[in-house]
Amino acid sequence: MAGEFKSLLPYLREYRWRYVAGIVADLAVDAGNIAMPQFIKSAIDLVASGRSSARTLLPILGGMLGLAASIVCGRFLWRFFIHGSSRRIENEMRDRFFAKLMEMPADWFRANKSGDIMARATNDMGAIRQATGMGFITFIDGVFMSAGILAVMFASAPRTAAWAIVPLPLITVLIILFGRMTGSRFRRVQEIFAHLAGIAQESVAGIRVVKAFVKEGLFAAIFARSNDDYRDASMSLVRVFGFFFPFIAFLSGTTTVILLLVGGSAVVGNHMSPGEIVALLAYLDMLIWPMMGAGFTVNTIQRGAASLRRVNEVLDAKPSIATLPGAVDERPEGDIEMRNLHYNYEDAPVPALAGIDLAVPRGTTLGILGRVGSGKSTLLKVLPRLIDPPSGSVFMGGRDVRGLTLSALRSAFGFVPQDSFLFSDSIAANLRFGKGDLGAERFARVASIAALDEDVAGFPEGWETVVGERGLTLSGGQKQRVAIARALAVDPEILVLDDALSAVDADTEERILAALLEERRGRTNIIVSHRVSTLRHADTIIVLESGRIVQRGSHAELLAEAAGFYAEIASLQALEAQLSETEQGIAKDAAAAKTAEAAKTAEAAGAAKTAEAAGAAKTAEATSGD
């Protein structure tokens, strides 16, 4: 436990004078509390002697009021200094915790669930605050109040005090057992709470999938089971509390019984004054708080230690990717080059990338095609060091990417992934995410390139429309286009589109690409797509297979390789397009036939109505003639 609290030493040193002031104020309160029964003793003995009067009692009462006022002031001061310090420590630790999360690579978050991280940032931080605040105070009170009270009791009536404190050793043993029992139980509660928070977060984040598969009942049942586990673990902790505190109160009550038996006999035998026994009763009553406080202290420190251990697991984690010593803090420009690039994921049976040699001149567009698992995403990740490439294998502007600071390297990229993430904010705020001072003219320009302006014009609140969590209220194509505009807004040196137009129709895609490539003339673009119609805009196209480049060339050159994967995909997509056009033609012909048939039916119905009307007119004429 002590090892866990060593991590708090820097904070305690920072706020040491606040803690010292709080301790002094708390000790003054303790001294005032210990002194108060002496005033009561004097007043009772004065009344019992028969010599009391308003003149003799007023000084005692005045002293009690003054002492009470000083106790109030002291309590305010220790709360201000101690609790204030604990709040500041919590605030600094939470800032440090979040900053640490921002340092960790994406792989770390795949191994640590969001719910568990949230539990550490909230519940565990609160437990640490309690340990450095109220836990600290109860420890000081427990030590000094107990020592002061026992000293005064033994000084005034040693024999009676000795009998009265007989149950105290048993209480001490119980406190030690209580600490051991609560520590493990509290850790269990925190772990289950983290799991419960994870289920809730995952269910809300994936609500579309849950509803699409009609699995609301399943997720409700999973949550209910975890919630029951949390209840059971909490009740296990509550049962310990439920036994401990009443039993401590019972043992404390026995001290009062002993005092009345022994002290009462002493008063009857004139060995003690009535005021002395009343003062001893007050001291025993005051002694209950340090005893109870000892249990509270043990519980609070155990909780704090368990929570501090969980928080320190994050704070002490070492990022697998970090800026290396001597790195240059300069945004890279120039050609991209890969030299015999190999990359293996841990425990993977085969390399994700093997022998990649590739040069992408500045100002050109590279297209990438490949099957699922061919290494496309890995190739993109090594460029900004989202995963770390081997030294001497990836260069930008002639510099090894490992020799650049992460912030400088990554500032050169604008990434648009297939699964575009949007924040729960307005569309305008999401678009300005990378560049908050984006001017109105540039804003309109990137929105137009991404073909967003027409869509947003139809929204009731326009650009100020607030999207749901992760962009839930927008369609897939709209989310992708907001992400494209967001990347264009920062005017990156290298724009990466990782299948970023997969949810956009072909006509809109063609319009976006034409405007985008015109806008980015002279800068580098990397386009990953499964559509040949998208890749044909690239200056150079590579085809990946099992982590290797198996084809490279222009669109025309790759189409000429009839036996290649690129030409095969192009043929399949051309056939698919022809079939789609044929189906559309058939649908149009069917619709036209239905329209013609409906028109003939309507014409026949009209003719019948006309004939019926003519017959009715003739009948009426004949009737009127009669």
Residue range 159-171: mean pLDDT, rounded: 76
Whether residues 235 and 371 fall in one domain? no
Whether residues 378 and 494 fall in one domain? yes
Domain total in the chain: 3
Whether residues 412 and 284 fall in one domain? no
Residue range 387-412: mean pLDDT, rounded: 90
Whether residues 8 and 117 fall in one domain? yes
| Listed range (68-72, 286-290, 328-332, 367-371) with the worst mean pLDDT | 286-290
Whether residues 554 and 571 fall in one domain? no
pLDDT tier at 622 (50, 70, 90 boundaries)?
Answer: very low
Whether residues 487 and 573 fall in one domain? no
Whether residues 286 and 410 fall in one domain? no
The b/e string for 220-247 (b: 16+ C-beta within 10 A; e otherwise) is eeeeeebeebbeebbeebeebbeebeee
pLDDT at 180: 67
Domain contains 322: no
Of 87-91, 114-118, 152-156, 423-427, highest mean pLDDT: 87-91
pLDDT at 543: 92
Whether residues 397 and 471 fall in one domain? yes
| Listed range (107-121, 176-190, 452-466) with the worst mean pLDDT | 176-190
Domain contains 626: no
Whether residues 295 and 190 fall in one domain? yes
Residue 479 has pLDDT above 90, yes or no: no
Whether residues 443 and 572 fall in one domain? no
Closest CA to 454 of 430, 429, 476, 481: 481
Is the distance from CB of 310 to CB of 125 less than 8 angstroms? no
Whether residues 572 and 557 fall in one domain? no
Domain contains 489: yes
pLDDT at 150: 83
Domain contains 278: yes
pLDDT at 583: 58
Of 169-173, 326-330, 367-371, highest mean pLDDT: 367-371
**pLDDT above 90 covers what percent of the chain?**
13
CATH number at residue 420: 3.40.50.300
Predicted confidence (pLDDT) per residue in 126-155, tens digit: 888 888 888 888 888 778 888 888 888 888
Domain contains 331: no
pLDDT tier at 337 (50, 70, 90 boundaries)?
Answer: very high
pLDDT tier at 5 (50, 70, 90 boundaries)?
Answer: confident
**Parent domain of 554:** 336-565
pLDDT tier at 72 (50, 70, 90 boundaries)?
Answer: very high
Looking at per-residue pLDDT, the higher value among 512 and 256 belongs to 512
Whether residues 558 and 615 fall in one domain? no
pLDDT at 604: 56
The residues, any chain, with a CB within 8 Å of residue 468's CB and separated by 6 or more, are 424
Average pLDDT, the chain: 81
Domain contains 597: yes
Closest CA to 148 of 278, 31, 18, 310: 31
Domain contains 326: no
Q: Which residue has the tokens 């043990």?
A: 298
Domain contains 245: yes
Domain end among 565, 594, 610 = 565
Closest CA to 416 of 352, 370, 482, 339: 482
Which tokens is 33 given? 């509390």
What's the maximum distance between 2 C-alpha atoms anywhere in the chain? 144
